[in-house]
Amino acid sequence: MFYLMDMEDYVRVEPKFFGLPTLEAVEKQLRETYADYYGKELGRAVVVIDVLSVGEGVIIPGDGAAYYNSKFKLLVWKPELHELVFGEILEITNFGAFINLGAIKGMIHISQTMDDFVSFSKSNTLSGKSSKRILKNGDLCLARIVAISHKGNEPKIGLTMRQPGLGKIEWIKEDAIKRKKESEKTAKGETKDKKTKKEKK
């Protein structure tokens, strides 16, 4: 889920930014510092939106940088269990698929790609035995987060597409059309039953 965070921190501005106006130097340093930042509590930093204020600079002996107490707005994405996520399939492997969620990558185990027996083909696709559905690189999908692990530098996001309303976008559309036809068929059957009962009376 995306969050707009109000942050306050002492920003360590490196000497390479000293020739710039203070506000610009702090902003450039923040953008560099948070470019690839991920923290368990904060999530993935997406972009520094704005620097709201910059206090007086402090120099610490033995450190060539300057520190500025700064307030800024930061856009972050923090994965939440059971959250619905939209993404594009990046890579198909024999054990599942990796999906680009924008701010981060997630992984869908082969058993969670569809409600079917799934096999990996030599053409780098996953295919369902009964449904004949195929998942390949570039497919747009809707999935649900079912596991989050914070071991290592990058979080590991586990996903599923086996629940109703999830999966490849084309599959979701196909299922919606199928459900609509079934409900129309059921409605016609109920109308026919009502007419028959009236005729018997």
Domain boundaries defined on the chain: 2-77, 84-176
Residue type, 117: F
Helix (H) / strand (E) element for 39: namely: strand 38-39
Q: Can you tell me the mean pLDDT for 7-34?
A: 94
pLDDT score of 192: 64
Taking the mean position of all CA atoms in its chain, how far away is CA 38?
A: 14
pLDDT score of 40: 87
Which CATH code fits 84-176? 2.40.50.140
Instruction: Provide the token pair at 126.
Output: 């996953």
> Does residue 5 surpass a pLDDT of 70?
yes
Q: Can you tell me the mean pLDDT for 139-161?
A: 91
pLDDT score of 150: 85
Taking the alpha carbons of 171, 174, 176, 178 in that order, is the dihedral positive or negative? negative
Question: How far apart are the C-alpha atoms of 140 and 133, rounded to whole Å?
Answer: 14
pLDDT score of 138: 95
pLDDT score of 152: 76
* pLDDT tens profile 39-71: 888 899 999 999 999 999 898 888 989 999 999
Q: Can you tell me the mean pLDDT for 176-192?
A: 82
pLDDT score of 199: 61
Is CATH 3.40.50.720 correct for 2-77?
A: no
Name 127's Cβ contacts closer than 8 Å, sequence gap at least 6.
118, 119, 121, 133, 134, 135
- H helix and E strand count, the chain: 2, 13
Question: How far apart are the C-alpha atoms of 164 and 31, rounded to whole Å?
Answer: 40
pLDDT score of 185: 84
Question: How far apart are the C-alpha atoms of 50 and 75, rounded to whole Å?
Answer: 10
> Does residue 107 surpass a pLDDT of 90?
yes
CA distances from 13 to 62, 83, 103 (A): 14, 36, 26
Helix (H) / strand (E) element for 27: namely: helix 22-33
pLDDT classification of 183: cutoffs 50, 70, 90:
confident
Going by C-alpha positions, the residue among 192, 150, 159, 188 that lies closest to residue 89 is 159
Strands 105-109 and 156-160: parallel
